[in-house]
Amino acid sequence: MLYPEINESRNVIDLGGAWSFRLDDGTHGEGWADSAFISEGVQVPVPASYNDINEDLEFRKHCGWAYYRRTFTIPKNLADERLVLRFDAVTHYAKVYLDGELITEHKGGFLPFEADVTGKLVPGKEAELIVAVDNRINHSTLPMGNEGGTAFFGSDNADVPSVIAAKKWRRPVNLPNFDFFNYAGINRPVRLYTTPMSYISDVTITTGIDGSSGIVHYVITTEGNGEASIEIRDGSGKVVTEGKGNSGTLHIENARLWWPYPGEPYLYKATVRFGEDAYSLDFGIRTVKVEGTRFLINGRPFYFKGFGKHEDSAIHGRGFDFVLDMKDISMIHWMDANSFRTSHYPYAEEMYQLCDREGIVIIDETPAVGMGGTTEDIYRIGNFRSHHEDVIKDLIARDKNHPSVVMWSMGNEPDVVTYPDSAYDYWHSLYEYTKALDPDGRPVTFVCNQNNYERDRITREMDVICINRYYGWYNLSGDMEAAVYALNIELDFWEKQNKPVIMTEYGADTLPGFHLSSPEMFSEEFQVLYYDTINKEFDKRSFMIGEHPWNFADFNTIQGPMRADGNRKGLLTRDRRPKMAAHYFRKRWKEIPNFDYK
Ligand code: BDP
């Protein structure tokens, strides 16, 4: 799906701002949209999560539908244009009403969807837009919520009659089976864009390298009548090659490649035309390949220095925050990191555009997190397979052209139940499905939790083995000697698989300003000791091709006895101030080059 663009043939109207908003009061039920009821509510900003905008506790703990409303009039001079309403992300389920008519609905809170409203939205006449949003999570949603009242943290599942009774008695609550706050609402921009009536609906660009030439394969998908063409310019605006027709292969002599920073992340601009329509996109020439225990970018072995991240900030929640994204890029450069994983859902498209330009490598993850949370086999009882496939399809359709995206992650940490045939069949077939979809043939992985790696049959089948391990934190807590002993036993196992391994999560909760001369858990000194001890082991193993500490920054999560003011494993605080460990990594990563380290 193309990102909305303003250019010679297209217009974009931003529908952000203050919208009327009301939480469902439980009496109206699904999909109900009543202008008067919503208008009596409060004003909230779009885009943003609604949870931290208002002091009423209901905003934070709401479970169910909420309604947004605004009116607008588009200019009369758009009368001959095709009009499309685009929602970049509504979390988690959306029903959209234009002048009372349900025009589209969408499941999944982290990917865009659109509705063609040509003929429905009359230029010059006021229109009413209502968006009903459902934040409920369960065994059919991604991310997944627990059913049956199971809490993520704590010993809430104990066999205590009064607790069991209270769980049945209480109002419905969302019980995420994942460790980040279930921020909801219209989290990313809402825009109306125009195209001519005959238009470009998609562009796919993949690249290769042949000696000093860059090879560019393109496919232009169109609707209506016209001739398709493409023109490629270099950074100075000079046309370097062009082609005619809906698909083809072009060559760029002496091509400049896209390299991760501090290499040059060189971008070319492709301008595609079809009839009256035009669309431009930046792309990079680069290749990605796994060979033995190496991850090759442009044929050279790359070492991942970076983080698991979140889209999370004070007040905005998970709402699109461009200022924060830019700050994060700056902090990534400051720490000499070169990559991150979009744990645990696809991020806003603007972040990928920034990473293309800034030379930051992305492992792009779906929202398949929290799969489990039941003593039963989730693959047999859950109803999520087709949704998972849709999400992968839409993710690749959205992000396929970004040079920064080098690998797909199908999901994070399904519960330990990765051993039975049902789990194997699920992930194995999903891996093949994902592989077949990507025109760029990127490696595919899924991220495995701390489990019985000997019994696990899925992780070892991935192109890159991605493991989250908390030796010294959740187990062998505080005992770094024992943690390293255990880690090495496991690394010996992975060494035999002859595949590249990335530690996609490891970390320790740390309270900034809490100092100890003899490092114990939660102190800044312990966080440094923890990382320093473990990193020394990675350095000894050539198949360990990346380290992604968990997490880039502290983040908000569900309340519970294991979390005080969120998850505190950040190298940075939530407002992006460095803890001691950030300085530690900054020093370490300065010494580790992007390429040929291993
Ligand atoms: C991992 C999860 C991550 C959590 C982290 C933690 O992948 O989402 O935040 O543990 O507990 O298992 O800090």
Residue of 550, 551, 555 with the most ligand 1 atoms within 8 Å of its CB, for mutation: 550
Residue nearest (by alpha carbon) to ligand 1 atom 12: 449
Residue nearest (by alpha carbon) to ligand 1 atom 2: 179
Give me the half-sphere count of Cα atoms (radius 13 Å) on the Cβ side of residue 12.
15
pLDDT at 160: 87
**DSSP H or E stretch at residue 223:** strand 213-223
Residue of 179, 552, 563 with the most ligand 1 atoms within 8 Å of its CB, for mutation: 179
Distance, CA of 3 to CA of 358 (rounded, Å):
19
Number of neighbouring beta carbons within 10 Å of residue 105:
16
Residue of 182, 413, 510 with the most ligand 1 atoms within 8 Å of its CB, for mutation: 413
pLDDT at 420: 84
Q: With a 6 A CB cut-off, is 468 part of the ligand 1 pocket?
A: yes
Q: With a 6 A CB cut-off, is 81 part of the ligand 1 pocket?
A: no
Number of neighbouring beta carbons within 10 Å of residue 165:
10
Q: How far is the CA of 27 from the centre of ligand 1 (A)?
A: 37
Q: H-type helices in 142-202, by residue range?
A: 161-169
The ligand 1 atom at the shortest distance from the C-alpha of residue 450 is 12
The ligand 1 atom at the shortest distance from the C-alpha of residue 413 is 7
- Which token pair is 347? 């991020």
**DSSP H or E stretch at residue 537:** helix 524-539
Residue nearest (by alpha carbon) to ligand 1 atom 9: 179
Q: Is the dihedral of CA 96, 110, 450, 523 positive or negative?
A: negative
Distance, CA of 240 to CA of 268 (rounded, Å):
9
pLDDT at 32: 65
Q: How far is the CA of 367 from the centre of ligand 1 (A)?
A: 14
Q: With a 6 A CB cut-off, is 412 part of the ligand 1 pocket?
A: yes
Amino acid at 179: D
List, by residue number, the catalytic residues.
Answer: 413, 505
Q: Write out the chain's pLDDT in tens, 598 residues.
A: 999 999 999 999 999 999 999 999 877 665 567 888 898 899 999 999 999 999 999 999 999 999 999 999 999 999 999 999 999 999 999 999 999 999 999 999 999 999 999 999 999 999 999 999 999 999 999 999 988 776 766 666 678 888 888 888 988 899 999 999 999 999 999 999 999 999 999 999 999 999 999 999 999 999 999 999 999 999 999 999 999 999 999 999 999 999 999 999 999 999 999 999 999 999 999 999 999 999 999 999 999 999 999 999 999 999 999 999 999 999 999 999 999 999 999 999 999 999 999 999 999 999 999 998 788 888 888 899 999 999 999 999 999 999 999 999 999 998 765 678 899 999 999 999 999 999 999 999 999 999 999 999 999 999 999 999 999 999 999 999 999 999 999 999 999 999 999 999 999 999 999 999 999 999 999 999 999 999 999 999 999 999 999 999 999 999 988 899 999 999 999 999 999 999 999 999 999 999 999 9
Residue nearest (by alpha carbon) to ligand 1 atom 3: 179
Distance, CA of 302 to CA of 300 (rounded, Å):
6
Q: How far is the CA of 24 from the centre of ligand 1 (A)?
A: 31
The ligand 1 atom at the shortest distance from the C-alpha of residue 447 is 7
- Which token pair is 495? 């060494």
Q: With a 6 A CB cut-off, is 505 part of the ligand 1 pocket?
A: yes
Q: With a 6 A CB cut-off, is 557 part of the ligand 1 pocket?
A: no
Q: With a 6 A CB cut-off, is 451 part of the ligand 1 pocket?
A: no
Q: How far is the CA of 106 from the centre of ligand 1 (A)?
A: 28
The ligand 1 atom at the shortest distance from the C-alpha of residue 178 is 8
The ligand 1 atom at the shortest distance from the C-alpha of residue 555 is 9
Q: With a 6 A CB cut-off, is 413 part of the ligand 1 pocket?
A: yes
Q: Cβ contacts of residue 573 below 8 Å, gap of 6+?
A: 512, 553, 554, 579
Residue (of 142, 90, 104) closest to 319 by Cα position: 90
Q: How far is the CA of 9 from the centre of ligand 1 (A)?
A: 46
At which residue do the structure tokens 């698991």 appear? Answer: 308
Residue nearest (by alpha carbon) to ligand 1 atom 5: 179
- Rounded to the nearest angstrom, the gap between the alpha carbon of residue 220 and the centroid of all alpha carbons in its chain is 26
The ligand 1 atom at the shortest distance from the C-alpha of residue 343 is 8
Q: With a 6 A CB cut-off, is 449 part of the ligand 1 pocket?
A: yes
The ligand 1 atom at the shortest distance from the C-alpha of residue 569 is 13
- What pTM does this model have? 0.97
Distances in Å between the alpha carbon of 59 and those of 56, 308, 545?
6, 28, 43
